[in-house]
Amino acid sequence: MTPEMAFECVLVSHDPAVFCTMDRILQDFSIHTNVCPNPSKAANLLAGGSTDLIVIDLESEHSADLMHQIFESRMQKPTILAVSAADCVIPGVHVFLRKPVTPESGAKSLKAAYSRMLRDYRKHTRFALMTPVLATDENNRTLSVTVTNIGEGGVGLTTNINIGEDGVGLTTKERLAIGSIVSFRVPLPGLGSAIHIQARVLWTRQYGAVGCEFVRIPPGDLQVLHAWLESRYRFKKPLFPV
């Protein structure tokens, strides 16, 4: 996203009918757009890693090279809306728009692309917490961890101290193995009560960072989490309901 928290798009086309129509529709969706008549400039913009959407005219010269670069890159893939005069299927393209592009067909295709961008944004956005909690693993051991961030896609932790039965404190950097499950309660800022989370470890780092996916959150607590997250999302909304 741009600093103004608007979704960011790279529009690649040398066809005036395509970029004029799509640029107006993108403005209606409150999406900031960089218009690129050729794919070479688009490649430089995409290298920055902040692009949420690419609208690419498949009839533009070197468009195939740009598509290959996107698919081969290790960056988080943007939503791809491909424009073509012919019906075609390209793996990795999320939405197709058939020429000639009209305001109606463009808006319909962009609405589908926008929904996907919104899902990705919510999935990957995390909010910092830095809240120390006591967690329990599947062996009923008590672990002292800090919840560093939380979002719809999961929760981040850092490991602190393992409180053993003999009262001896042990570092837990090797105690949370990938695949292990931990349970804990964490308060969310601005709320009066904590929510219960059961999470599975997906990855760990030597310095103690741990990435987890949700395994189970009680239905009531899940509603609280979703409402809390929705109240903190900040992005420019379309000028009309979608």
Which residues does 90 contact at the CB level (< 8 Å), separation at least 6? Answer: 58, 67, 82
Nearest to 185 by CA among 137, 133, 146: 133
Q: Report yes or no on whether pTM surpasses 0.85.
A: no
Output the six-digit token pair for 169. Answer: 């404190």
Cα dist from 153 to 58, 139, 149, 225, whole Å: 33, 25, 11, 12
Segment 131-187, tens digit of pLDDT:
999 999 998 988 899 999 999 989 999 986 444 454 443 344 446 889 999 999 999
pLDDT for 70 equals 78
Segment 20-50, tens digit of pLDDT:
999 999 999 999 998 887 777 777 777 776 7
> Are the CB atoms for 29 and 55 separated by under 8 Å?
no
Cα dist from 91 to 39, 76, 95, 140, 163, whole Å: 19, 16, 11, 45, 50
pLDDT for 207 equals 80
Query: What is the Cα–Cα distance from 80 to 58, expressed in whole angstroms?
Result: 11
Domains in the chain, ordered, with CATH?
A: 8-124 (3.40.50.2300), 127-230 (2.40.10.220)
Query: What is the Cα–Cα distance from 234 to 212, expressed in whole angstroms?
Result: 24
Output the six-digit token pair for 118. Answer: 């919104």
Write down how long the chain is: 242
Segment 179-216, tens digit of pLDDT:
999 999 999 999 888 999 999 999 998 788 999 999 99
pLDDT for 162 equals 46
